[in-house]
Structure 1
Amino acid sequence: MAATTSTKRAGRPRSQLPACYHEGYLEKRASKEKVFRRLWTCVCGNTLFFFNSHRDSEYVEKLELSGFLSMADDGSRDRNLEAARFSLRLKDGEVKLTAPNLESRELWKGFIYAVVELSVPTSLNLLPGQLHLLGEVVEKERRRRKSASLPAAPTTPLYLPLLGEIPPCFQPVSRREAEVLLERHPDCGNLLLRPGRDGTSLAVTTRQDLNGSVFRHYRVSQREEGGYVIDVENPIPCETLHDVINCLLEKTSGTLQPFLLEEPYEENIAFVKSNDENGERSLQWAPNSPLHRAASSPLHRAPVLPPKPGRKPQSPIRTSLPRRTASERPYCGSPGAERRTFKPLPLPPETELQAEALGDRLKRLNVTAPPLAQSLSEELKLKLEQRRATME
Structure 2
Amino acid sequence: MAAAPVKQRTGGSRAQLPPCYYEGYLEKRGPKEKVSRRLWTCLCGNSLYFFNNTKDTHYVEKLDLSGFISLADDCGRDRNLEAARLSLRLKDGETKLTASNLEARELWKGFLYAVVELSIPSSLTLLPGQLHMLKEVVEKEKLRRKTRSLSRAPSSPLSLPLVGEIPPCFRPVSRVEAEVLLERYPDCGNMVLRPGRDGTSLAVTTRQDLNGSVFRHYRVTQKQQGGYVIDVENPIPCETLYDVINALVEKTSGTLQPFLLEEPYEENITFVSSNDENGERTLHCVRGGPPYRGPALPPKQAGTDKWSPRHQALSQSASPRSFSPTETPLSPMKRLTLSPSPLAQSFTEELKMKLEKRQKTNQE
- Give the alignment's TM-score, normalised by structure 2: 0.44
Higher RCO structure (Cα 8 Å, ≥6 apart): 2
**Bigger Cα Rg:** 1
Tell me the TM-score normalised to structure 1 length: 0.41
